[in-house]
Amino acid sequence: MAAQFAAYVGCLFASPAQYWDTITIVTAIVIIAVGAVAAFAIVKSIQLWLKPPKVAPLVEGEKVVAAEDAKAGEEIFVMYRGEYWKARSPKGIAQGKAYRIASKDGTVLILEPLE
């Protein structure tokens, strides 16, 4: 943009034929440069969109602490590795009690009480 503006100002001191030639060349260069950057951004956006999300491997047997109560089979959120995960237990969940991660069903952690 600055180069194009400088070319416009510089062309004021040139003959009319040189003025239009310079403006055409500078405009074409700017359009090509902006198009190349836009094409690069679009390609990278599509690549990122198509890439599957990376989820850290689940380490079964790790401990989580329930922040709320839940009945058997009911899903709640627990804090695991600094993130909230949905969790459920076939035996129910009690607030403040520690549980062990037994497995994972999709994005839901299956918990077992520590005993």
CATH number of the domain that 109 lies in? Answer: 2.40.50.140
Confidence bin at 26 (pLDDT 50/70/90): confident
Query: Is 72:92 a contact under the CB 8 Å cutoff?
Result: yes
The answer to whether position 99 is within a domain reads yes
A 10 A CB-CB count for 26 gives 18
The answer to whether position 76 is within a domain reads yes
Burial class for 77, CB neighbours closer than 10 Å (0-12, 13-18, 19+): middle
Task: Provide the domain limits for residue 11.
Answer: 2-50
Total domain count, the chain: 2
Residues 33-65 have pLDDT tens digits of 999 999 999 999 999 999 887 766 667 888 888
Mean model confidence pLDDT for the chain: 84
Q: Can you tell me whether residue 66 is helix, strand or coil?
A: strand
Please say which residue of 50, 75, 90 terminates a domain.
50
pTM as predicted: 0.51
More confident: 50 or 82: 50
